[in-house]
Structure 1
Amino acid sequence: MANQDRALGTPYGKHPTRALLLGSGELGKEVAIALTRLGVRVIAADSYEGAPAQQVAHEAHVLDMSDAQALAELIAEVQPDIIIPEIEAIATQVLFDAERAGIHVVPSATIASICMDREALRRLASDDLGLPTSPHRFAGSLEELRAGAQAVGFPCVVKPVMSSSGHGQSVVRDASGIDAAWQEAQQGRRAHHDGDVSRVIVEQLVDLDYELTMLTVSSSAGIVVCTPIGQRQQDGDYRESWQPADVPADVLQESGRIAREAVRGLVQRAKTDTAWGVFGVELFVLTDGSVLFNEVSPRPHDTGMVTMISQRLSEFDLHARAILGVPVTEGHVALAMPAHTAAASHAIVVSGEGEVEFSDLDAALARPSTDVRIFAKPRVAGHRRMGVALALGQNVQEARIAATQVTQALHTEIV
């Protein structure tokens, strides 16, 4: 549907623009809020009831989105103008069917399919686009993995081609660890079923100095890149991020180039004029200063939650605008902080079993330059990201400390 044909401002009217969120976590919640502010009717789907985005959407549905029939039935019932995949465990063939029926899939069914498959994405980045990556091989059997590991050298990292947040990933120090890594990849991959075999990627363990996220926006105005975001991960999952990342000028230039080329390559593969939205391009910066492409998410990125305090338009606002055909230019992605200021986010991770209650908000937010988002997920089982603290500081270190202090002051209790 063309942008000028979309009805905005009447989400309960007869002909509103209807956006179906496939995945309703904390990132989807912020996307839903951004879209509703622009008058879009939001329908939020997830595998469980009471997911964050469902709490702010106009409609909510619960289903297994990897079930092709269930997903197709939902789309037929909802009749969305736009489908926004916010997770990767989705029956992608249904997205292609929806696209052929004239529904705008964000950014496109082709891009969603490529980005959820490490093999397809890495072949595009390395083989087709010529982007620098770590030495790697793909394997469809234990024997192929053994040969691939020997080719890239030890130590190496083994990952399923379809997984996220570090699931199924292993660091292998020598040949004796290959068998265990293969089993870990098979058990930790997405959509695991007994008897199935997942292909894996084995990569050389590079001399990593730090990681960057380059939020890159494709819109009707072209492709622009946000200020780089630094990050800290734990067990393959985001824990802190900050913006701007303090990087040398040559690293900044190369990071921007790689991010633009990666997104441009994906957009060209989509073969559509509406491959719009935010992409989270993940990069490795090595100890020698070289920059490597790692992965890209065709949606707002968890490390990008820092933009809720660092930019006038957060990554979620940018995503909503781009989806609706609004041009996003360099001025729209600029930082909105005083000069010589930095911003940070710190994930609030809760461990235990049960419902989580928060208190001492007054103490946590006593400092004016801080903020917090409580995701309101129904419960935690094991450990789960339940909120995020945001802070400004005179520099990155001060901002990170302030965000950490918010998480420490905010009291959590499992009931």
Structure 2
Amino acid sequence: EELGLPTSRYKFASTFEEFKAAVEEIGLPCVIKPIMSSSGHGQSVARKPEDIERSWHISQEGGRAGAGRVIVEGFVDFDYEITLLTVRSCSGTTYCEPVGHIQVDGDYRYSWQPQPMTSNALNRAREIARKITDALGGYGIFGVELFIKGDDVIFSEVSPRPHDTGMVTMISQDLSEFGLHARALLGLPVPAIRFYGPSASRAIVVEGDTDKVEFENLEQVLAEPGVQIRIFGKPEVKGHRRMGVILATDESVEAARAKAERAYNALKVNVLPR
């Protein structure tokens, strides 16, 4: 609001009554999000009147910070969405190549780098990312999410930390988003980011209620050149949880995405009883 950035229509709500009024004003369909959460937890889409109460309960029970204030957002007509990883350090502001991604229920499943964009859209995206991160201040990496429609850029949200869609940088760059974050926070310069080439990631999401997950067939997962896997070592799953990521590089984004998908399909995940 202070910066005058273009956004979707939105309203905040702290009570169920305020929430119903916000949905009525924004209109259906709309997206409901807890204002403090991550990985899509507590997020839902209300498409018809019967969804309104259900979406409120999801927002109050599913958010990472518990019950509380929500934001109701109107749908945006866009061609694609990106995360523009923006680094603020003692040497100034630096940008990674734009990250394209696909989300399911607000949770990232695929990402790739670079997302093809017009030069006008990319310049506008960097302007918006610079405005919002300068206003927030501090050193570190920011995941600035943006909707793109032609050359128009609409601000969605910002995460003042490494972003889930940015895990592709673990194979695409000389410094991953985590390395960039650490270097900036330590007060060290980030004069440039070396981008290696088209890359993709595929999230490994496990469903169930267990503290025993096995990953098998890794020799087939890693059979092709330019493929890596990261298993996060998280202790348990309740419902669904991102437990790892497959990374791939190739001559084009399309080829990298296809390679990551082949590796993912080769992976066998065993969910054992507690």
TM > 0.5:
yes
Q: Does 1:359 align with 2:216?
A: yes
Cα deviation per residue 1:104-163 (whole Å; 9 max; x = unaligned)?
Answer: xxxxxxxxxxxxxxxxxxxxxxx1111111111112233322332233232222222222
Q: Does 1:253 align with 2:123?
A: yes
Other-structure match for 2:183: 321
Q: Does 1:188 align with 2:62?
A: yes
What's the offset of the Cα at 1:174? 4.2
Q: Does 1:390 align with 2:247?
A: yes
Cα deviation per residue 1:239-296 (whole Å; 9 max; x = unaligned)?
Answer: 11100001122211111111111111100xxxxxxx211111111224x542111111
Match of 2:236 among 373, 376, 379: 379
Would the aligned equivalents of 1:225 and 1:260 in 2 still touch at CA under 8 Å? Answer: no
One-letter code aligned to 1:403: A
Would the aligned equivalents of 2:3 and 2:132 in 1 still touch at CA under 8 Å? Answer: yes
Would the aligned equivalents of 2:43 and 2:105 in 1 still touch at CA under 8 Å? Answer: no
Distance 1:148 1:350, change over 3 A: closer
| 3-state SS in 1 of match to 2:247 | strand
One-letter code aligned to 1:348: I
Greater per-residue helix proportion = 1
| 3-state SS in 2 of match to 1:128 | coil
One-letter code aligned to 2:103: Q
| 3-state SS in 2 of match to 1:295 | strand
Distance 1:410 1:189, change over 3 A: closer
Match of 1:228 among 79, 98, 101: 98
Q: Does 1:304 align with 2:174?
A: no
What's the offset of the Cα at 1:226? 0.9
Match of 2:200 among 336, 340, 344: 344
What's the offset of the Cα at 1:316? 1.4
Q: Does 1:280 align with 2:137?
A: no
Would the aligned equivalents of 1:227 and 1:334 in 2 still touch at CA under 8 Å? Answer: no
Other-structure match for 1:335: 195
Distance 1:361 1:178, change over 3 A: closer
Would the aligned equivalents of 1:277 and 1:318 in 2 still touch at CA under 8 Å? Answer: yes
Would the aligned equivalents of 2:141 and 2:162 in 1 still touch at CA under 8 Å? Answer: yes
Match of 1:244 among 114, 139, 145: 114
Structure 2: which 5+ runs fail to align?
none
One-letter code aligned to 1:261: K
| 3-state SS in 2 of match to 1:358 | strand
Residues 7-22 of structure 1 mapped to structure 2, 5 A cutoff: none
One-letter code aligned to 2:140: G
Bigger-Rg structure (1/2): 1
Length-normalised TM-score, structure 1:
0.62
Residues 11-410 of structure 1 mapped to structure 2, 5 A cutoff: 127-192=1-66, 198-267=68-137, 275-286=138-149, 289-329=151-191, 331=192, 333-337=193-197, 342-352=198-208, 353-410=210-267
Would the aligned equivalents of 1:160 and 1:168 in 2 still touch at CA under 8 Å? Answer: yes
Cα deviation per residue 1:210-230 (whole Å; 9 max; x = unaligned)?
Answer: 210011101001111111000
Length-normalised TM-score, structure 2:
0.91
> 1:391 & 1:186 partners in 2: Cα distance?
37
> 1:242 & 1:316 partners in 2: Cα distance?
17
> 1:224 & 1:304 partners in 2: Cα distance?
15
Distance 1:209 1:356, change over 3 A: same
What's the offset of the Cα at 1:384? 2.1
| 3-state SS in 2 of match to 1:178 | helix
> 1:377 & 1:135 partners in 2: Cα distance?
37
CA RMSD of aligned residues (A): 1.9
Structure 1: which 5+ runs fail to align?
1-126, 268-274
Would the aligned equivalents of 2:140 and 2:184 in 1 still touch at CA under 8 Å? Answer: yes
Would the aligned equivalents of 2:44 and 2:105 in 1 still touch at CA under 8 Å? Answer: no
> 2:248 & 2:56 partners in 1: Cα distance?
41
One-letter code aligned to 1:306: V
Cα deviation per residue 1:330-379 (whole Å; 9 max; x = unaligned)?
Answer: x2x23123xxxx10011112233341222322221111111111112223
One-letter code aligned to 1:300: P
Of stretches 309-318 and 166-175 in structure 1, the one that deviates more from structure 2 is: 166-175
Cα deviation per residue 1:196-223 (whole Å; 9 max; x = unaligned)?
Answer: xx22211111113321001110100111
Identity of aligned residues (%): 52
Aligned residues: 271
What's the offset of the Cα at 1:301? 0.9
Greater per-residue strand proportion = 2
Q: Which has the higher contact order (CA 8 A, sep 6+)?
A: 2
What's the offset of the Cα at 1:175? 4.3
Distance 1:146 1:411, change over 3 A: closer
